Chains A and B, each alone.
Chain A
Amino acid sequence: IVLTQSPGTLSLSPGERATLSCRASQTVSSTYLAWYQQKPGQAPRLLIYGASSRATGIPDRFRGGGSGTDFTLTISRLEPEDFAVYYCQQYGSSRWTFGQGTKVEIK
């Protein structure tokens, strides 16, 4: 399964809404779709699992959705600490894949 994220880079201002896309080459069970945030020099931080469940401590401005081959991560109002790279991932089997990442940068 190939995961393709778009756009590659998203230039937005604090307070704006960010919508990130993750498209799969074949159907992915919603149970096994996750989103991560990564900042320079840090390990990936789990945001969303099971396509729409927020991980512990993740603010409710982060929302995951979608099914089948199309998944989205929405950040309702960007905070300064949200500018980072975001990855989607499919798991739950003996072969995982990651999207190539979307960079959310300050406009």
Chain B
Amino acid sequence: QVELVQSGAEVKKPGASVKVSCKASGYTFSSYGISWVRQAPRQGLEWMGWISPYNGNTNYAQKFQGRVTMTRDTSTSTVYMELRSLRSDDTAVYYCARDCYSTSCYVHWGQGTLVTVSS
């Protein structure tokens, strides 16, 4: 079965960087794009960007351009999301989610990683 397992909670100071991992299993890693989505406290779901595990191509939301980098390691079926220059309003739960390209499949989500930015 498809499974996405994310790294654990992080506490960071303003100005620091955080790197969250998402290890995929149960399917052919290179066949489906992975998006990162975040949810700040009492806010909605916000798409941050997408990476193709096949070739490493990325597409970032304009809001995060220049501050986020998404990478992948095909040898371990893991994708990474690094967010730099953290601010207090980056405090959120960060999710990775696997895309879907047919009527018979659906988006699979990781369990979420809480990132707290506090001085």
- Which secondary structure characterizes the binding site on chain B? loop
**The residue from B45, B95, B99, B112 contacting A92, defined by CB atoms under 8 A apart:** B99
A70-107 CB contacts (< 8 Å) to partner B: 87, 89, 91-101
Q: Assuming the A-B contacts A50-B106, A92-B99, are A44 and B50 also in contact, with contact meaning beta carbons closer than 8 angstroms in the complex?
A: no
Q: A31 — nearest CB in chain B belongs to which residue?
A: B103
**The residue from A43, A44, A49, A94 contacting B100, defined by CB atoms under 8 A apart:** A49
Indicate whether A22 reaches chain B with its CB closer than 8 angstroms.
no
Indicate whether B10 reaches chain A with its CB closer than 8 angstroms.
no
Indicate whether A28 reaches chain B with its CB closer than 8 angstroms.
no
| Contact (Cβ within 8 A) B106 A94 | no
Can you list, as one digit per residue, whether each of A58-79 has a CB less than 8 Å from chain B (1) or not (0)? 0000000000000000000000
Q: B101 — nearest CB in chain A belongs to which residue?
A: A92
**The residue from A43, A50, A53 contacting B95, defined by CB atoms under 8 A apart:** A43
Collect the chain A residues with CB atoms within 8 Å of residue B106's CB.
Answer: 34, 46, 49-50, 53, 55
Interface residues on B, range: 20 to 34
Chain A residue total in the interface (Cβ 8 A): 24
Shortest distance from the beta carbon of A73 to any chain B beta carbon, whole Å: 15
Q: Assuming the A-B contacts A43-B95, A43-B111, A91-B107, are A98 and B44 also in contact, with contact meaning beta carbons closer than 8 angstroms in the complex?
A: yes
* Central interface residue in B45, B46, B100, B105, by most chain A CB within 10 Å: B45
Q: Which B residues form the contact surface with A (CB < 8 A)?
A: 33, 35, 37, 44-47, 50, 52, 57, 59, 61, 93, 95, 99-107, 109, 111-112
